[in-house]
Chains A and B, each alone.
Chain A
């Protein structure tokens, strides 16, 4: 029995995530915040695949993967099962990517929230179906290259705005909804702790760059995630019982071009297209009271 490296981490090294993967960082930080008394129900996706190639698992907490669109349904069954057995002190946590949440997973999530289960849902948002090779999802931002929104003569990248998932969940009346970023790990972990402590359905969406999918160097993960926040492209906020609280207002909001120009998936953008994206970001920031 070999010695456990980094014994305290609940997501062990040796997983097959890419070098510089923002999402596995989001996983490790999440478990650090939540502790060992959780049961994780995970959807098919990058994180599921890289952490559990049989016979190996990176998870040091109980963990189940059932299918792609049902992390929330499985997690709600876990919660109901524990409740029925009179077991307390264990939190049911559902984890899925943006694809498994915004698109195929939305129904199950909606149902679980509506039923009011005591569970925490974490969406790790790398803005496309990365595990299958960078196809667009409903969370892919406007203008981004993906393999299903390629840059061609007739069409140039994603032509739809990013689906506003946190707003959808807040509209369900979930007691706590928050956005986070791997570049702001303390903020992320605090939000998770807060969410987990609430008895009811809570939701945290963490922005987590994908180095191959966003076409960035492996060491740029945190920098890019930080720029998303500092340019207002990704806003850090909470909605607690319907009340909005922006947790980080960038003091001197930087132009979105600073964020876009770091990433190969936006390399094709013309100046005019960047202006359009800036307008969308400005509109978003206005809604959040960010200057």
Chain B
């Protein structure tokens, strides 16, 4: 059934369809609608879950950990400062190998305070051992959240579904909402292999002494690598039931292009629009959209980007003192690879700054110029920067 839904609503509906047992969440802009909708579903009896009105995000994820440990399907949602506050527990949830699913409405980080979109929050925790998916539109938000449960429970790793705050979270789009019966056929109930149960007492969260800790981290990393396969499996399974498929990356007119753009999230839609315009003029440009950021789809990136002469990476984040995280990961993927494209890192859209067609074209021009010259003069650039305000003259 098609409904007009914003991203937050799509996420809430996905959690409802997934029959989550425990929702433990704390409100923060722009995720609030997720929690509000889920509260309504519970209040109306549409979702038979325990809704925990926790007193902070740290407790939100801590409670999810407790619930998941006893075998309940646990769900939470947050953004920005909330993600930072629970960051300690992100690592713990992954280390404990609990299949918690969370949606994160990407919002930039304080200071200064910003409620608007960028990827600073999820990028800051990219090392935490959660599978990280990025969504282009609200259909993808709903679909990826549903897939997340299947992936998490097969891998025993928590999964974070990210989508742009405000741009997706608060924008209504037509979304195909699957029926409960079909979702039940796609997503079976959670049957944990290990759980806390007086009938079979187990200890979770022991002290990982030096004789063992490294091995547990190796296993976590191995599980993250296995996540690539699980994501593909879940995607294929999802396609069988619902007719939609997303992949780890998406190639959009990229195979025959010398000049490529690389990005994630809702920005992909804007870029596709520009690509279409260029293609109508006969110019061969393309987009590679990353959907699974963690685990990083290294092989897929090498295959999709390797033939290009230059790639412009558009990302809404920067690792201070270094460069954008998506650029760093992509560049690193090509280490020891013979044929590697030139790469330019474009920091854009910070704190909700609009990334418009002029910006995208500027990035394309820069990549084309680099491709022609065979070199990149300046690797990291900022798009849409008000240069006079920072003392940079034109």
Q: Which of A57, A81, A92 contacts B21 (CB 8 A)?
A: A81
CB distance from B189 to the nearest CB of A (A): 10
Could you tell me the distance between the alpha carbons of A112 and B22 in the complex, rounded to whole angstroms? 15
Q: Are B212 and A77 in contact (CB under 8 A)?
A: no
Interface size class of B (residues with CB under 8 A): 35 or more
Q: Are A49 and B204 in contact (CB under 8 A)?
A: no
Q: Are B206 and A52 in contact (CB under 8 A)?
A: yes
CB distance from B62 to the nearest CB of A (A): 4
Q: A222 in the interface, Cβ–Cβ < 8 Å?
A: no
Known: A62-B202, A90-B198. 5 other contacts (CB 8 A): A62-B203, A69-B58, A70-B62, A78-B67, A85-B72
Q: Which of A70, A84, A112 contacts B67 (CB 8 A)?
A: A84
Q: Are A57 and B203 in contact (CB under 8 A)?
A: yes
Q: B117 in the interface, Cβ–Cβ < 8 Å?
A: no
Q: B65 in the interface, Cβ–Cβ < 8 Å?
A: yes
Q: Are B204 and A65 in contact (CB under 8 A)?
A: yes
Q: Are B74 and A81 in contact (CB under 8 A)?
A: yes
Q: Are B88 and A67 in contact (CB under 8 A)?
A: yes
Q: Are B21 and A77 in contact (CB under 8 A)?
A: no
Q: Are A54 and B208 in contact (CB under 8 A)?
A: yes
**Which residue of the partner chain B has the closest CB to A84?**
B21
For B198, the chain A residues whose CB sits under 8 A away are 36-39, 61-62, 90
Could you tell me the distance between the alpha carbons of A114 and B56 in the complex, rounded to whole angstroms? 13
CB distance from A65 to the nearest CB of B (A): 4
Q: Are A73 and B59 in contact (CB under 8 A)?
A: yes
Q: A198 in the interface, Cβ–Cβ < 8 Å?
A: no
Could you tell me the distance between the alpha carbons of A52 and B203 in the complex, rounded to whole angstroms? 8
CB distance from B391 to the nearest CB of A (A): 43
Taking A62-B202, A67-B92 as contacts, is the C-beta distance between A107 and B207 under 8 angstroms?
A: no
Q: Are B201 and A81 in contact (CB under 8 A)?
A: no
Residue among B72, B206, B208 facing the most chain A CB atoms (10 A cut-off): B206
Q: B188 in the interface, Cβ–Cβ < 8 Å?
A: no
Taking A53-B209, A54-B212, A64-B66 as contacts, is the C-beta distance between A73 and B58 under 8 angstroms?
A: yes
CB distance from B387 to the nearest CB of A (A): 44
Interface string of A51-88 (1 = CB under 8 A from B): 01111110111111111011001111111111111010
**Which residue of the partner chain A has the closest CB to B211?**
A54
Which B residues from 63 to 92 make CB contacts under 8 A with A? Answer: 63-72, 74, 88-89, 92
Q: Which of A52, A66, A74, A114 contacts B55 (CB 8 A)?
A: A114
Which B residues from 42 to 64 make CB contacts under 8 A with A? Answer: 48-50, 52-56, 58-59, 62-64
Interface string of B191-214 (1 = CB under 8 A from A): 000001110111111111100100
Which B residues from 89 to 119 make CB contacts under 8 A with A? Answer: 89, 92, 96
Q: B122 in the interface, Cβ–Cβ < 8 Å?
A: no
Interface string of A106-119 (1 = CB under 8 A from B): 01101110110000
Could you tell me the distance between the alpha carbons of A289 and B129 in the complex, rounded to whole angstroms? 55
Q: Are B58 and A59 in contact (CB under 8 A)?
A: no
Could you tell me the distance between the alpha carbons of A21 and B64 in the complex, rounded to whole angstroms? 33
CB distance from B53 to the nearest CB of A (A): 6
> What's the A-B contact tally at a CB cutoff of 8 Å?
160
Q: Are A81 and B203 in contact (CB under 8 A)?
A: no
Q: B29 in the interface, Cβ–Cβ < 8 Å?
A: no
For B64, the chain A residues whose CB sits under 8 A away are 77
Residue among A65, A79, A85, A92 facing the most chain B CB atoms (10 A cut-off): A85
Could you tell me the distance between the alpha carbons of A115 and B70 in the complex, rounded to whole angstroms? 20
Q: Which of B21, B66, B196, B207 contacts A76 (CB 8 A)?
A: B66
Could you tell me the distance between the alpha carbons of A87 and B50 in the complex, rounded to whole angstroms? 13
Could you tell me the distance between the alpha carbons of A81 and B75 in the complex, rounded to whole angstroms? 11
Q: A101 in the interface, Cβ–Cβ < 8 Å?
A: no
Q: Are B203 and A66 in contact (CB under 8 A)?
A: no
For B89, the chain A residues whose CB sits under 8 A away are 66-67, 70
**Which residue of the partner chain A has the closest CB to B203?**
A57
Q: Are A83 and B50 in contact (CB under 8 A)?
A: yes
Interface string of A24-64 (1 = CB under 8 A from B): 00000000000011110100000011001111110111111
**Which residue of the partner chain B has the closest CB to A110?**
B55
5 closest A-B pairs (Cβ-Cβ)? A77-B66, A77-B63, A111-B55, A81-B67, A81-B72
Sample 5 A-B pairs with CB under 8 A, ordered by A number: A36-B198, A67-B88, A74-B65, A78-B67, A115-B53
Q: Are A39 and B196 in contact (CB under 8 A)?
A: yes
For B68, the chain A residues whose CB sits under 8 A away are 77, 81
**Which residue of the partner chain A has the closest CB to B216?**
A54
For B201, the chain A residues whose CB sits under 8 A away are 36, 59-63
Interface string of B27-53 (1 = CB under 8 A from A): 000000000000000000000111011
Could you tell me the distance between the alpha carbons of A69 and B89 in the complex, rounded to whole angstroms? 11
Q: Are B205 and A65 in contact (CB under 8 A)?
A: yes
Q: Are A82 and B63 in contact (CB under 8 A)?
A: no
For A111, the chain B residues whose CB sits under 8 A away are 54-56, 59
Could you tell me the distance between the alpha carbons of A90 and B200 in the complex, rounded to whole angstroms? 13
**Which residue of the partner chain B has the closest CB to A62?**
B196
For A79, the chain B residues whose CB sits under 8 A away are 66
For A107, the chain B residues whose CB sits under 8 A away are 55-56, 59
